[in-house]
Amino acid sequence: MPVEESAPGGAAGADRPHVTAAVLAGGVGARMGGGLPKQLLPLAGRAVLEHAVAAFCAAPEVDDVIVLMVGEHLAEAERIVAGADLAKVSAVLPGGATRTATSAAALAAVSHRRDSDLLLLHDAARPLVTRAVISGCVAALATAGAVGVAVPSGDTVVEVAAGPGGTEMLRAVPPRASLRRMQTPQGFRLGVLRRAYESALADPALVATDDCGVVLRYLPGEPVRVVEGDEANIKITHPGDVEVAEVLLRLRAEAAAEALR
């Protein structure tokens, strides 16, 4: 499916940046195992991918959504998008060999947008992202060029090093109060992400686990803002995580029903 202009009506005006959300679904889910990438697994009657895409389609701040899907399963992603009538989806495209390559493919897909427009990058494997989290990320982009959503760590997070005979030894205990667990979406002014990726992709030693980290490393002068994520915005990674997501969805639905009573 090609990249198209978003429909008029919800589209950005001259005074407001255009907001594209890219749902990154290019992974194969090696840690989950099984025959299917985890973004295609069923979760409460819909594919994990559909939950993530639907959240961005429903967000009033988002003008269009692109999906970057692992090559062999492009047709399934197109079927999911068409079947669910996710009208803001403007393109379903192949992802890259790494998450960073998939982010770069998303960036290439919006090459026609202005430097002042916005790109939100989101893991398809985080199907429980909420409207409040998306909204908080976009709002922070009014005054920041790069924004990540994160939650505090309840556990003490430590750094380890290899010890003798294959053991692991404690190396450092960073102060917990300044530690966060990074989630997605991570949002960017396109000009900022373009400059960061230009340097990153020229670095043969590039290794990154998220896109805010790419900006921090390759555009050191650029402040990266961190805003509140959501404990329930889990990343489906290991066997059992879909079941956890099912429970979280059920609790969310029960809380919403209770609030209406």
Ligand X SMILES: C[C@](O)(CO)[C@H](O)COP(=O)(O)O
Ligand Y SMILES: Nc1ccn([C@@H]2O[C@H](COP(=O)(O)OP(=O)(O)OP(=O)(O)O)[C@@H](O)[C@H]2O)c(=O)n1
| CA dist., res. 150 & res. 178, Å (int) | 12
Q: Between residue 206 and residue 235, which ones bind ligand Y under the rule CB under 6 A?
A: 235
Considering the complex, state which of residue 156 and residue 209 has its C-beta at the smaller distance from ligand X.
209
Residue 200 per-residue DSSP state: H
Question: CB-based contacts of 177: which residues, under 8 Å, 6+ apart?
Answer: none
Binding of ligand Y at residue 252 (CB under 6 A)? no
Q: Peptide bond preceding 185: is omega within 30 degrees of 0, i.e. cis?
A: yes
Residue among 28, 29, 11, 30 at smallest CA distance from 20: 11
Nearer to ligand X, 3 or 242 (CB): 242
Q: How far apart are CA 180 and CA 75, in angstroms?
A: 37
Could you list the beta-strand ranges (E) of 71-201. Answer: 89-94, 118-123, 146-152, 159-162, 168-172, 180-189
Signed CA dihedral, 233, 193, 28, 65: sign only: positive
Question: Shortest distance, CB of residue 137 to ligand Y, whole angstroms?
Answer: 16
Residue 220 Cβ, how far from ligand Y at the closest point, in Å?
25
How many residues form the binding site for ligand Y (CB under 6 A)? 23
Give yes or no for residue 21 binding ligand Y (CB under 6 A): no
- Residue of 185, 5, 184, 197 lying closest to 91 (CA atoms): 5
- Name the pairing type of β-strands 180-189 and 118-123: antiparallel
The nearer residue to ligand Y, 153 or 237, going by C-beta atoms, is 237
- Closest approach, Cβ 18 to ligand Y, in A, equals 22
Q: Does 25 bind ligand Y (CB under 6 A)?
A: yes
Q: What is the smallest separation between the CB atom of 188 and ligand Y, expressed in angstroms?
A: 16
29 binds ligand Y (CB under 6 A): yes
209's contact among ligand X, ligand Y, none, with CB below 5 to 8 A by partner kind, is: ligand X
Q: Is 121 in the site for ligand Y (CB under 6 A)?
A: no
Please report, as residue ranges, which positions from 75 to 104 form the binding site for ligand Y (by CB under 6 A).
95-99, 102
Contact 121, 24 (CB under 8 A): yes
In the complex, minimum distance from the CB of residue 187 to ligand Y, in angstroms, rounded to a whole number: 16
Q: Which residues bind ligand Y (CB under 6 A)?
A: 24-32, 37, 39, 68, 95-99, 102, 123-125, 235, 237
